[in-house]
Amino acid sequence: MTKNWWKIIASVLVLYSIIGGLLIEVPSLPILHESIRNLYFHVPMWFTMIILYLVSVIYSIKYLSSGNENDDLLAVESVNAGIIFGFLGLLTGMIWANYTWGDPWPNDPKLNSAAISTLMYMAYLVLRNSLEEEQKRARISAIYNIFAFPVMIVLLFILPRMTDSLHPGNGGNPGFGGYDLDDNMRWVFYPACLGWIMLGVWIATLRYRIRKLENSQLDS
């Protein structure tokens, strides 16, 4: 119980954000209308993805300095979980874009960047599959992971800010927090982010533990 308290908090927060996100009053804005509720689901997916990729890079660095097989397993399972959240982020974004911008895939730099960074992490998984020897696979994929991370940061946070974008907070647009987020929404949005991030980490650790069990079965 002492170890699992944060999992309970994660479930409660996610449940609260779903129920609260659908029921609590939101400001009625032009174009957005009720679809503004998607903010509680779309944005936390990206935060979770970034956090999971960050965890993965940290464990890749740890692997290179320690050579501990478990660090490598944690790195790859974080990427696996991160990719799921990346796809969910794309999916929720496409639904939202379809109703507010009139097109599920408008030519928006942030969208393209997100898709490319997902490709990058899928390339990481392909690279892992192409290497058979375990230690070599761990080391080389860790190197690629660390190499790709700064490029992903440029892709997601710098390039979209340089051009016109439909997303708030990019290309000179005001950020979402500036105008549209009222206090009611903050009470749902921040817990939602926290809850989804913890849920993502939980998924990654579960997958890591399954992999570790499989490996120990193979050894015995």
Partner 1 sequence: MNLLNQVKFLIRKEIVLEWRSKYAFNGILLYVVSTVFVCFLAFKSIQPITWNALFWIIMLFASVNAITKSFVQENRGRQLYYYTIASPQAIIISKIIYNILLMLLLSVIALAFYSLVFKNPVGDPLFYFISVLLGSISFATVFTMISGIASKAHNSGALMAILSFPVIIPLLIVLIKLSKNAMDGLDRSVSMDEIGVLGGINVIVIAVSLILFPYLWRE
The alpha carbon dihedral of 194, 92, 89, 208 has a sign of: positive
Query: Using CB under 8 A as the criterion, what x/- string covers residues 163-192 for binding partner 1?
Result: x-----------------------------
Only segment of 46-54, 91-99, 156-164, 168-176 that touches partner 1 (CB under 8 A): 156-164
Among 113, 114, 191, 199, binds partner 1 (CB under 8 A): 113
Among 154, 206, 210, 213, binds partner 1 (CB under 8 A): 154
Instruction: Give the tokens for residue 63.
Output: 């692997």
Q: Hey, what amino acid is at 192?
A: A
- Say how far apart CA 41 and CA 69 lie, in whole Å: 34
Minimum gap (Å) between residue 169 Cβ and partner 1: 18
Tell whether residue 139 is a contact of partner 1 (CB under 8 A). yes
Which residues lie closer than 8 Å to 26 by C-beta, 6 or more apart?
Answer: 34, 36, 37, 182, 184, 185
Only segment of 11-19, 74-82, 96-104, 126-134 that touches partner 1 (CB under 8 A): 126-134
Among 8, 19, 162, 206, binds partner 1 (CB under 8 A): 162
Minimum gap (Å) between residue 166 Cβ and partner 1: 17
Minimum gap (Å) between residue 117 Cβ and partner 1: 7
Rg (C-alpha) for the chain, rounded Å, is 19
Which residues lie closer than 8 Å to 74 by C-beta, 6 or more apart?
Answer: 55, 56, 59, 204, 208
Tell whether residue 144 is a contact of partner 1 (CB under 8 A). yes
> CA separation (Å) from 109 to 4, 6, 12, 115?
40, 36, 35, 10
HSE-CB at 165 with a 13 A cutoff on CA atoms is 22
Q: Which is nearer to partner 1, 50 or 201 (CB)?
A: 50
Residues engaged in binding partner 1 (CB under 8 A): 64, 109, 113, 116-117, 119-120, 123, 126-127, 130-132, 136, 139-140, 142-144, 146-148, 150-151, 154-155, 158-159, 162-163
